[in-house]
Amino acid sequence: MRVEVDAAAIAANVRALRARVGVPVLGVVKAEGYGHGALASARAMLDGGAAMLGVVDLAEAVALRDAGLDAPLLAWLHGPRTDFRIAARRGIEVAVSSIAQLEAAADAGATIHLKVDTGLGRNGIARGDRAAALARAIELARGGARVRGLMSHLAGSSRDADLAQVADFAAAAAAAEPLALEVRHLAASAAALALPEARFDMVRLGMAAYGVDPAGPGDGGGAAAAALGLRPAMRVTATFQGGVAEGGLDAGLLPAIGAPVQVGDQAARVAEVTAGALRIEPPLSGEGVLFGDPAAGEPSADAWAVAAGTISYEVVTRMGSLALGAHGTAADPALAPRRALELGLDGTPRRLLGELVGVKRVEAGLGVSYGGEHVTERSTTLALVGLGYADGVTRAATGRPVQLRGGAEPIRGRVAMDQVVLDIGDRLAAVGDAVSLEHASAPELTGMLGPRVAVELAGDVPDADAMELLGERIGRSLVAGDAVLLIGPLGAGKTTLTRGIGRALGARGTVQSPTFVIARTHRTAAGPDLQHVDAYRLGADTGSEAQLDDLDLDLDGAITVAEWGAPLEHALDSWLRVEIERPEAGPGEDDMDDEADAPRRVRLSGHGPAWDAARLRALALEGAAR
């Protein structure tokens, strides 16, 4: 399967939409530009006249800055450890959804948009907190804080409900008058086109800018987008042999049985979508178009959405896993919420890991997420999870249980691109609480892995022999410049695992704890030296950075394995983190000499570009094959 993106179509769509709405536009390029590629989409949006760009979190914004984009940028969903000083330094504006975020962003010197909840029930300052938040924003602004904008988001439940939200937003803007706000923005694509009252000072264009009708999918023909003067920017093709093409759920396709496929000048229909393949009937051979531009006689993404029982947003966004590859890395927690797929040590999908990015008390009768399909029955607490269908949680997952604080809470309302909502009643929860969707309740997690999702391996290692075998598996994957940081208490098995790494590399000499020498170098049969480091004292000593420099480690040409390795993180661009838990060790116990047969819990996570999701998956599959 192949994904082609026409950047000129995005630019043309933005120009057409700007002319239609008559106000400045913010081009939304979150979730890798809805699967089209964030950087190319951002440039095309700007070429089309967008005044600003929008992303979901600071990680996406920083990536655009690192790529050389200096256009105004806004990020609006933040993890519990977001460092707003980075936003201030990089000229990234931030929308805040709580008084705590407001305080942190103001203290950091970031430019702020206040995000208020007017009826969507997701992120945004709750109505009950609005007066206090506005009062505090006014106070902070008088002290020099830069509060530039006010924003909210429509639920699209009905025209009347949307107009009620417009009125509520206007009331919030009036209450914020002392802030002398520069920009008020409420409408996304659908409302920007259909509801002039919602346009205010700027509109946010996402799906429409990519050439898909935001109110669709309609009858699946794609005619509504064409009537708006829009041209689809994405085209997905595949090569069929006897009716079968490579690329299925794992490539981002939904199980859209009956969706049209055009092979040459012949029409076919999807008969089956498996993890790695797509089958059509009749069993044609040749180059096929799954979806593209209906004006050219090709099937539309809308048709695939109808067949899959979803919306076109999900169809195209999921293609980011194919267009960009499942190469997500663990995001810096200072930039983004946690998003990780946990596999067992044998590669078996186990659960999707995330965290709460918002917790707020709301009133009875509040609709939750798009369409307001879930309505709060009484005063309750809504907990917001920073995961959505761009990360593999299909829209069909509404109602699936999410594990939180030892209990399970169902997803309420529609799954959105970046977030889901839990209605937890009077249960206690806090921003930063870990959450997970277990594979048994969300089997779609075996499919598309969004490009911003990291992969982690976790499982039990029963004894010392198994720990050494795990080390061998890791060692077989290592190349010059790799670093493996081992984290765990005395007796966890760090040296035992390093012995396995050394065996795989053909390390010369005995691999033993380098406690007294701090670092020991082993020549290897594989080529790169193995540097075995004990960084315990580097972590405890206030002069640890100078000590690390004194070690004169070859971090580029050798393979580095560091026990107690956390202090080395600041010196590395990439590393594999191996966390080992063991039962309480008694005084003087070291490694696995005592309780050698007691199982250890091990977690492997990649950090930096050298340890992306694809590499972790390959490491898991290598273990499953043996």
List pLDDT tens digits, range 519-531. 899 999 878 999 9
Residues 273-291 have pLDDT tens digits of: 998 899 999 999 999 999 9
Distances, alpha carbon 412 to alpha carbons 121, 315, 362, 382, 512, in Å: 10, 21, 14, 9, 53
156: pLDDT strictly greater than 70: yes
pLDDT at 70: 97
- Confidence category of residue 538, pLDDT binned at 50, 70, 90: confident
Terminal Cα-to-Cα distance of the chain (whole angstroms): 30
- Confidence category of residue 9, pLDDT binned at 50, 70, 90: very high
Phi-psi region of 473 (alpha: psi -120 to 50; beta: other; left: phi over 0): alpha
pLDDT at 550: 65
E-strand spans in 338-385? 340-344, 349-362, 367-368, 374-375, 380-385
Mean pLDDT (the chain) is 92
Residues 349-390 have pLDDT tens digits of: 899 999 999 999 999 999 999 999 999 999 999 999 999 999
C-alpha dihedral sign at 610, 613, 614, 616: positive
- Confidence category of residue 270, pLDDT binned at 50, 70, 90: very high
Query: Which of 521, 580, 512, 518 has the alpha carbon at shortest distance from 544?
Result: 518
* Two structure tokens written together for 543: 């002069």
**Residue 180: exposed, middle, or buried by beta-carbon count in 10 A (0-12, 13-18, 19+)?**
exposed
* Two structure tokens written together for 620: 């898991």
DSSP characters over 21-39: H-S-EEEE-HHHHHTT-HH
pLDDT at 593: 47
Residues 208 and 107: their CA atoms lie apart, in Å, by: 36
CA angle 457, 389, 370 (to 5 degrees): 145
pLDDT at 594: 45
Cis ω for the linkage preceding 333 (within 30 of 0): no
Could you tell me if 464 and 592 are in contact, meaning their C-beta atoms sit under 8 angstroms apart? yes
- Lowest-pLDDT choice from 15-24, 493-502, 525-534: 525-534
Residues 583-613 have pLDDT tens digits of: 665 555 554 444 456 899 999 999 999 999 8
If you count them, how many residues does the chain have?
Answer: 626
The listed range with the strongest mean pLDDT (142-151, 490-499, 588-597) is 142-151
H or E element that contains 236: strand 234-240
- Lowest-pLDDT choice from 20-24, 224-228, 438-442, 620-624: 620-624
Composition of the chain by helix, strand, coil, percent to 5: 35, 25, 40
**Token pair 């380098």 in the structure block, residue:** 514
Residues 145 and 147: their CA atoms lie apart, in Å, by: 6
- Confidence category of residue 327, pLDDT binned at 50, 70, 90: low
pLDDT at 596: 56
pLDDT at 442: 74
Residues 539-594 have pLDDT tens digits of: 544 445 556 666 778 899 999 999 999 988 888 999 999 999 986 655 555 544 44
CA 261 to chain centre: 30
Residue 583: φ, ψ to 5°: -60, 160
Could you tell me if 383 and 359 are in contact, meaning their C-beta atoms sit under 8 angstroms apart? yes
